[in-house]
Structure 1
Amino acid sequence: MSVTGPSAGTGPLWWDDAAPRPPADTSPLPLSVDVAVVGGGYTGLWTAYYLLRTRPDLTVLVLEAEHVGFGASGRNGGWVSALWPVSPDVLARRYGRAAASAQLAALRDTVDEVGRVDEAEGLGSGFTKGGALVVARSAAQVVRARAEAEHAASWRMGTTWLTSEAARERLDAPGVLGATYTPDCARIHPRRLVDGLGALVRRMGARVVEGVRVARAGDGVVVLRDGRRVSAASVVLGTEGWTPSFPGHERSVVPVYSLMVATEPLSDEVWAGLGLAGREVFADHGHLVVYGQRTDDGRIAFGGRGAPYHWGSTVRPEFDHEGQVFAALRAHLLGVLPQLDGVGFTHAWGGALGIARDWHPSVRWDASTRTGWAGGYVGDGVAATNLAGRTLADLVLGRSSPLTALPWVGHRSPRWEPEPLRWLGVNAGLRAAHLADLEEARTGRPARLGALLSRLTAH
């Protein structure tokens, strides 16, 4: 098996053909605005979009430390999914079955909403709703996959079990024993979506200022690190993996790195043999999360977890690159699709995502300080950020709606433990997922660690 590719890392594949950045905005910042949004990723930009679509008279200021799409929004695997990191059973125990069902239905609707806006506004993300195929590659994975399909049926989630033959009609992965298929998922080019949103909200009247670092935000004011201040009637934080850098949020979420690799463009003949003709995204039922898609230019972009958590919830550019993880991802992809043996890999990159202590994404709004926050998406944020943006817009505008009644609104996750417990716990969880997969490969039976991982990850 030949596995070659960059070990030191490159820039994200999605950035190769990113839209030209607008000229730097060097004019003075306003003294006051109606809404200040901190973070130029999906959460902040969707919030700005839905605010201005409803109230075009609002003054909206978006502040971004680097450039639009610098974080997870411009680096991710491009799954617009109705997947949710918290089991519906957990949601039902906390909030009731009706509330849990409403959350799941809102996520399914959100996949279509992203596609609707992409088409209506000409965002150019390449949105294609081909569904998600998750293959089972061992007897233990078959047990887990069948149970997932049965559980999904009890919640009317649309996930079905496919036989080996049916699975291979979609993706010709030798040795696959079956798969689950979920229709409520689309693929996009992540950077094109975020760049399109950034340009759109500018056209709608928002001011988007890049390259400015915020020291503190909330309670009617945004303070930049250079001392400048902007008063705001409302403040929204869309900072995801960078949230721990803000005072008072140090233990709200942990930044966990997900890394990706990409192949060279594959020929039409290779694709005719591989499949994914409907642009399905794909993964497997292992414990360690992986995810892949067929890109617009005929590559496979493939990612997964496994990179270590860094002490103190630190996020740094050098953490985007872990040579051993890149090598493991290439090997994993060739394990699923051995037909790719000898194919070159051209890109390797990574980025941080946010995870709350109970793995429960949330939208929060403090009416007394008029400060909102959304995040902790656990890597399922491409759709969830749109739902968050619509919800935050309603909350800022003081509107009660079905969205503001969803159970993730106002949810309070426990704080993460202080160091060194946080470092030990997060990295132990990542290691346990790896060991569980090794145990299942060796024994062919569901890993004993699986039950522990389910408890740790709110399943």
Structure 2
Amino acid sequence: MSAGPATGTPPLWWDTRAADAVLPPDSGADLPLRADVVVVGGGFTGLWTAYYLLCAEPSLDVLVLEARHVGFGASGRNGGWVSALWPVAPDAIAARHGRAAALAHLAALRDTVDEVGRVDAAEDLGSGFTKGGTLVVARTPAQEERARAEAEHGASWGDGTVWLGPEEARERLATGPVRGATANPHCARVQPRDLVDGLAAAVRRRGGRVVEDTPVGRAGDGVVVLADGRRLSAGAVVLATEGWTPRLPGHERAVVPVYSLMVATDVLPEEQWERIGLARREVFADHGHLVIYGQRTVDDRIAFGGRGAPYHLGSTIRPEFDHEERVFASLRRTLTALVPALEGVSFTHAWGGPLGIARDWHPTVTWDPTTRTGRAGGYVGDGVAATNLAGRTLADLVLGRSSDLVGLPWVGHRSPSWEPEPLRWLGVNAGLRLAHAADAEEARTGRPSRLAGLLGRLTGGH
């Protein structure tokens, strides 16, 4: 393994974005006094909502306000998995809403992957959307036990997950010692910044305004107050701020911003790819307790990420938190151990950023018809596809349209607030340490970790 940059870099996706996806920005100097819909946040949730509103009602005056630039948050930093994954188990959904509702939700998630691909092609978003599926390897006996159980459980819900033996797993990805893998077809790879840039351009082509460098101080009840004191009135307000939500008054404990970090290799030659695999452009991970994720990029690198960076007291977000060299070094070691053919490869990028997690690990879409305020978020890292489903759902809610989407079980879900500090700082960071410890215990003993049960209780069982 060749060491990466001595310090963090901008996200790979920002450095390799397609220039032709970018349109001149709308000016914030002459904002209207009123808009039919004001969307706060220029990431996937906000832009998908604006896009579907304008598809349904082209005459609407839709204004998207972004504090920095489109894709500045998780939308422009993530691992690029457009997946049907969901952080809440279908059994938990069924226990509350019934099996039929859980099946409808799973079907909507699968359809959403294809919907992103449809829009990508129809609007020429240029994201590199390639539906190669997901491959999650089992590297220890304990991981194999979980993986086989996951495949069996997935079959009971018809989610498409299958178990692959060691030989078939290695044919797909040339890992080190492996006991097998689960595979699922319902996932695509994208270059996320190209997707968000292309989506912003599509919103503008349809008549929406996307205004950057315009932070919002307060929003709701038909009023949006900018950080500089200007006030706008709105027929409806949509809050699409994900990990930055705690900065809005009244939402300080709605989600916690948990950091996920990534590294990227240099461009790899074709002969090296012939040894590595990922010929279908599968995204990949393992069945460990600490989340990791990777993809073969549009320009033939590996972009690889994972959790492990600390949560900061008071839900604080700062640029320096994007860069934790200890975590970057761990990610490089983990990747080269997972894929030995990468030994000695150069790493060119290292970056990170926060994502939003609700107290019960449950994403949500809400709409208050009295104040005409909507919100979506808390995707727990599964948001590249879920934001599209949220955007379509919010568009229907804003427009008062009855549809199958507005009846899905995440609509109207209310997560409990996170504990006050310092309890949430202690709890979130304890969870990260437990995930590390559970993986270490399994590597040492070869048996499922006893600590994993405690981790499950700490995270609400998700």
Tell me the secondary structure at the aligned position of residue 235 of structure 1. strand
Query: What are the Cα deviations for residues 41-89 of structure 1, in whole angstroms up to 9, with x where unaligned?
Result: 0000000000000000000000000001100000100000000000111
Query: For residue 82 of structure 1, what is the aligned residue in structure 2?
Result: 84
In the alignment, which residue of structure 2 is the partner of 1:61?
63
Letter in 2 for 1:13: L
1:94 Cα offset (Å):
1.2
- Matching residue within 364, 367, 378 for 2:366: 364
Match among 121, 146, 154 for residue 144 of structure 1: 146
SS of corresponding position for 2:263: strand
Counterparts of 2:155 and 2:248, CA distance in 1? 41
Whole-angstrom distance in 1 between the partners of 2:197 and 2:106 = 28
1:449 Cα deviation from its structure 2 partner? 1.2
Distance 1:7 1:433 in 2: 27
Q: Can you list the C-alpha shifts for 1:383-433, whole angstroms capped at 9, x where unaligned?
A: 000000000000000011100000000000010000000000000000000
- Which of residues 107, 132, 135 is equivalent to 2:137? 135
Structure 2 CA distance for aligned equivalents of residues 23 and 236 of structure 1: 21
Q: 1:310 aligns with which of 287, 303, 312?
A: 312
CA displacement 1:305-324 (0-9 Å, x = unmatched): 00000010011111100000
Contact 1:85 1:458 in 2 (8 A): no
Distance 2:284 2:25 in 1: 38
Q: Is the 8 A contact 2:246 2:256 kept in 1?
A: yes
The CA distance in 2 between the partners of 1:395 and 1:114, in whole Å, is 20
Q: Report the residue type matching 2:346 in the other structure.
A: G
Find the counterpart in structure 2 of residue 39 from structure 1: 41
Q: What is the DSSP-based 3-state SS (H/G/I as helix, E as strand, rest coil) of the residue aligned with 1:40?
A: coil
CA distance in 1, matches of 2:290, 2:5: 22
Say whether residues 1:254 and 2:256 are aligned partners. yes
Taking a change above 3 Å as real, the CA distance of residues 285 and 58 of structure 1, as seen in their structure-2 partners, is same
In the aligned structure 1, how far is the partner of 2:221 from the partner of 2:70? 25
1:181 aligned partner, one-letter code: A
Find out whether 1:458 has 2:450 as its counterpart.
no
Q: What amino acid is the match of 2:400?
A: G
| Alignment partner, residue 182 of structure 1 | 184
- Give the partner amino acid of 2:461: A
Cα deviation 1:120-139 (Å, max 9, x = unaligned): 11000000000000000001
Question: Any conservation in 2 of the 1:72–1:352 contact (CA below 8 Å)?
Answer: yes
What's the offset of the Cα at 1:28? 1.2
Shift of 1:196: 0.1
The structural deviation recorded for 1:451 is 1.9
Mapped contact 1:353–1:378 kept (Cα < 8 A): yes
Q: Secondary structure at the match of 2:218?
A: strand
One-letter identity of the residue aligned with 1:375 = G
Paired position in structure 1 for 2:14: 15
Q: Is 1:118–1:127's contact at 8 Å kept on the other side of the alignment? A: yes
Q: Look up the match of 1:158.
A: 160
Deviation string, structure 1 residues 331-363 (Cα, Å, up to 9, x no partner): 000110111111000000001100000000000
Determine if contact 2:70/2:200 at 8 Å carries over to the other structure. Answer: yes
Query: Are 1:135 and 1:284, in contact at CA under 8 Å, matched by a contact in 2?
Result: yes
Instruction: Give CA-to-partner distance per residue, 1:356-391, whole Å, 9 cap, x none.
Output: 000000000001000000000000000000000000
Residue 347 (structure 2) aligned to one of 325, 345, 348: 345
- Verify: 1:290 aligned to 2:292, yes or no: yes
The answer to whether the Cα contact below 8 Å between 1:140 and 1:446 also exists between their aligned partners in 2 is: yes
| Separation in structure 1 between the aligned mates of residue 329 and residue 96 of structure 2, nearest angstrom | 41
Distance in 2 (CA, whole Å) between partners of 1:3 and 1:328 is 13
RMSD (Å), alpha carbons:
0.9
Q: Give SS of 1:251's match.
A: coil
For the residue of structure 2 that corresponds to 1:404, the secondary structure is helix
Cα deviation, 1:85-130, whole Å, max 9, x if unaligned, reads: 0011111111111111111110000000000000011000000000
The AA in structure 2 aligned to 1:4 is A
Alignment of 1:207-226 (within 5 A): 207-226=209-228
The answer to whether structure 1 residue 28 and structure 2 residue 27 are counterparts is no
Which of residues 98, 101, 111 in structure 2 aligns to 1:99? Answer: 101
Partners of 1:8 and 1:154 in 2: how far apart?
46
**What is the identity, as a one-letter code, of the residue corresponding to 1:353?**
L
Q: Which amino acid aligns with 1:430?
A: L
Report the secondary structure of 1:433's partner residue: helix
Structure 2: which amino acid aligns with 1:203?
A: R
Instruction: Report the Cα distance in structure 2 between the residues aligned to 1:410 and 1:23, rounded to whole angstroms.
Output: 34
Alpha-carbon contact 1:74-1:190 (below 8 Å) kept: yes
Q: Which position in structure 1 is the counterpart of 2:414?
A: 412
Q: Does 2:203 match 1:201? A: yes
Q: Distance in 2 between matches of 1:206 and 1:56?
A: 9
> After superposition, what is the alpha-carbon deviation per residue over 1:132-189, rounded to whole angstroms, capped at 9, x for unaligned?
0000000110001001111101111110000001111110112111000010000000
8 Å contact kept, 1:7–1:348: no
Match of 1:383 in 2: 385
Instruction: Encode CA deviations 1:168-224: one digit per residue, 9 max, x unaligned.
Output: 111011211100001000000000000000011011111111001100001001000
Query: 1:24 deviation in Å?
Result: 5.6
Is the Cα–Cα contact under 8 Å of residues 25 and 212 in structure 2 kept in the other structure? no
Distance 1:186 1:80 in 2: 5
Match for 1:10: what amino acid? T
Give the alignment's TM-score, normalised by structure 2: 0.98
- Check conservation: 1:90, 1:458, Cα contact below 8 A: no
* Aligned mates of 1:128, 1:209 — CA distance in 2: 30
Q: How far apart are the structure 1 equivalents of 2:300 and 2:227?
A: 43
Letter in 2 for 1:8: T
Give the Å deviation of 1:3. 4.2
Moved more, 334-343 or 23-32: 23-32
In structure 1, stretches of 5+ residues that fail to align are none
Q: 1:57 to 1:21 in 2, by over 3 A?
A: closer
Q: Secondary structure at the match of 1:83?
A: coil
User: Does the CA-based 8 Å contact 2:176-2:337 persist in structure 1?
Assistant: no
Unaligned residue ranges in structure 2 (runs of 5+): none
Match of 2:52 in 1: 50
One-letter amino acid of the structure 2 residue matched with residue 14 of structure 1: W
For 1:6, the equivalent position in structure 2 comes to 5
What one-letter code is carried by the residue in structure 1 that aligns with 2:75? S
The letter for the 1-side match of 2:297 is T
Alpha-carbon distance, 1:453 to partner: 2.3
Q: Matches of 2:98 and 2:318 in 1, distance apart?
A: 40
Query: Which runs of 4 or more aligned residues in structure 1 lie more than 3 Å from their structure 2 counterparts after TM superposition?
Result: none
| Maintained 8 Å contact 2:28/2:214 | no
- For the residue of structure 1 that corresponds to 2:407, the secondary structure is coil
Amino acid at match of 1:233: G
